[in-house]
Amino acid sequence: MLEFKNVTFQYEDEDFNIIDNLSFKVEHGEFISLIGVSGCGKSTIFRLTNQLLAPKSGDILVDGVSIGKQKNYAGYMPQKDLLFPWRTIEKNLWLPMELRRLSKSDMRQKSDAILSEVGLLDYKNKYPKDLSGGMRQRISFARTLLTDADLMLLDEPFSALDSLTRMSMQEWLLAQWTHFNKTILFITHDVEEAIFLSQKIFVVTETPIRSLEVISVPAGYPRSREALKEPEIIELKEYLISKLRKQVDSL
């Protein structure tokens, strides 16, 4: 689904490559979490994938084709929901479809369908201020789905939520991933969140990023909170925390 091939990138105001000859692959239908300390370059990987930044060298492929030759191949969900306060929920969902120049009847049909899927059809004529934080994130996810892309980039989407809402949203997201059969790359600073959600965890262990340590999570799906109590999961959590602490100490 996604492949970085020897990608190098440097910000103009820095004198070093933050990403240096990086290669990795994400397969179709996988749920991958990307973890690392703040400022290590995780979000840079997303910006390169979205073509918000251009690599100095190397290539990025989606479905085997360079992203420079494609449009609408990835949906992006940021940390903040970025819903327009002056638009109703329905009209907020129309935005990615407006960019694709769909007709109003098609947009209305698709937005109603996705609102039904995420359980918020009754809120279509409400405004963002009328929704809870968890509801707003569900709308943000629904809007990302309406890009009609199979690859979804989720950048710490639950970090601003309280702990109980966050756990509920994690469980909800897994259900949506299973239902819609998307490929998800998920950035988080929360090791337990990464373990609970993911099939594999990509760990940034150094900056510049030259490689990603790939760790398979030893738990199947459907996944419950009870899995987090298993000895091998506890061992994995301690290992990941120690890796991140070493990186902090080296900064």
- pLDDT the model gives residue 250: 63
Under a CB-based contact definition with an 8 Å cutoff, are residues 76 and 185 in contact? Answer: no
pLDDT, mean of residues 27-37: 94
**Pairwise CA distance, residues 203 & 3, whole Å:** 16
What are 222-225's contacts with CB under 8 Å, separation 24+? 222/174, 222/178, 223/174, 223/196, 225/167, 225/196
Give the up-direction half-sphere exposure of residue 148: CA atoms within 13 A in the CB hemisphere.
13
Q: What is the pTM of this model?
A: 0.89
Summarize pLDDT for 98-145 with one digit per residue, the tens: 988 899 999 999 999 999 988 899 999 999 999 998 899 889 989 998
| 248 has a pLDDT exceeding 80 | no
- At 157 the three-state DSSP class reads coil
**Pairwise CA distance, residues 75 & 183, whole Å:** 10
**Pairwise CA distance, residues 188 & 157, whole Å:** 8
Under a CB-based contact definition with an 8 Å cutoff, are residues 143 and 79 in contact? Answer: no
Strand partners of residue 33: 186, 201
Which residue did the predictor score with more confidence, 238 or 246?
A: 238
Q: Do the bridges between strand 74-77 and strand 151-155 make them parallel or antiparallel, or are there none, so unpaired?
A: parallel
pLDDT, mean of residues 49-60: 94
**Pairwise CA distance, residues 142 & 74, whole Å:** 14
Under a CB-based contact definition with an 8 Å cutoff, are residues 2 and 52 in contact? Answer: no
Summarize pLDDT for 139-196 with one digit per residue, the tens: 998 999 888 899 999 999 888 888 888 898 899 899 989 888 999 999 998 999 999 9
